[in-house]
Chain A
């Protein structure tokens, strides 16, 4: 029997990032794809630089991608916050305080943080995450204490103990909570971005799928609808090698997820998902395209799931040498090294960021831990807008069970 890694050349080259743009997967120029019939809200002619322009552009101090020192350091902070929060959750899980499953994004932090960071929150951009996009939520302004409350089923959490883990949303902060049915958020975000378009708002949506979610019908329908309406949507395809225990080879007959974009007539890019700057730059370009009215872009982020599907899963099916390879390609270690080697930040600044993360999480855990579970009776409300129509009138008088 062939070991999975032997049939996975892309995965084998752990440290070698994939080519930024994959020939053959880029779509024709926007003008060729635009339907002859003009849209109600015609996108303006644009002069937004493409990704490669942004990549080349450096600030006055030799800083990359038009980001300030503070922003470059902030990318580090959010990745560190993501990892440390998950580590705290792991401890709480082992103590039995995290009640449901725990889903780690270890090694994928650059993917979540870099993409979400490319959105313009002040413009009202929105995203919808997947289970391994805790970092995206944190960038959008989700508070660690609320994530802890979610995992510990606290009454004080955003869903008051009704939903678990990162399944929560906040329209004000710009994220819509996912459900467990993979692919479903693609049509939903198509509707969100359709609304941006109908209202003439220059807002952008971003939605995550994985190598597994891309096999669902909902993904296909949503992607096709968004593409055909040229909606301002960025679709981030996280290729982390495994959907639970199923390898990419058993999930799809293509070797690169970016290839699927061609079937929808949208441009794509394949990016090293463990290089936060490359992820940010690619996402920034896709967001700019969307905002300019040029429609959907699919970004494939090549990364790796370094923990099991959830904490209970020892991922015995993942070859040890593959894990070791990707451990050496850690996105946080890479970014820390790049920051200091490029003199964009010094070691003291990184340590200060680490200390800030630790202090914030100490406080968040302290607060969340002592909070109560919801009262049983609160389970009944809020099914409908009007309380009166929730239940049959005599239901409450009939003994349960």
Chain B
């Protein structure tokens, strides 16, 4: 009887602990103090906001929308912006809706909200007269691009010149993610193991509602890939993926390669997720730096 009591206590304590929203402090993005800077200064991040009335010279530029992943912010592509010196293209850093704000905003958001920010900027650029637009997405950013492609979003609009995916997630590496819908009511949220300043650029706490949204998006995209997705012939499509991605299983890229009628794939000798983001990581190796430069160079070369 005593043993049973102890076992029940061991099960109940963590359950009760995790059945309420997390205690959020103001030194993390989830709180009410730190926000993504693109919300205060959109003109520093969005090309459409920086050049509201583009002239002929502006319109001759190639614009690339860079899309971050689940729970991240514009910071995820900041290094590409710093790295880029070529004046022939401009970078528009999109902040997904529900992201870069606070826990409640994130919790209330759907994957359709995440996607809405991409559509807004893409359509604004087209309405301003740009004709050369490309999109790059990391992690869930890549999954959202696949959804736009499979849903026919680009069919009635200007086609993007290039689509680049970095460590896209169609299948998770974390084996417990697929059971979130079942254990969700007990789980409420999951806490990531962000270090130091990473807490200012990624949500530390991921509400189960958003994990379910991500799972729904992946399921939808996976189904589309199973049925086959056609890539318009004027779009160049390339996927970069770490060989041992601890978040987005590399099997995601196998599914993309099989599911698209044409695409290029490059596997990187890497075991980190979103290998193009090295800032704030500890012990960055020369190989990781080389992988990042390789991807950046290839993306930039297509933006002439």
User: Is chain B found bound to chain A in the same assembly?
Assistant: no
Residue numbers of B with Cβ under 8 A of A are none
Residue numbers of A with Cβ under 8 A of B are none
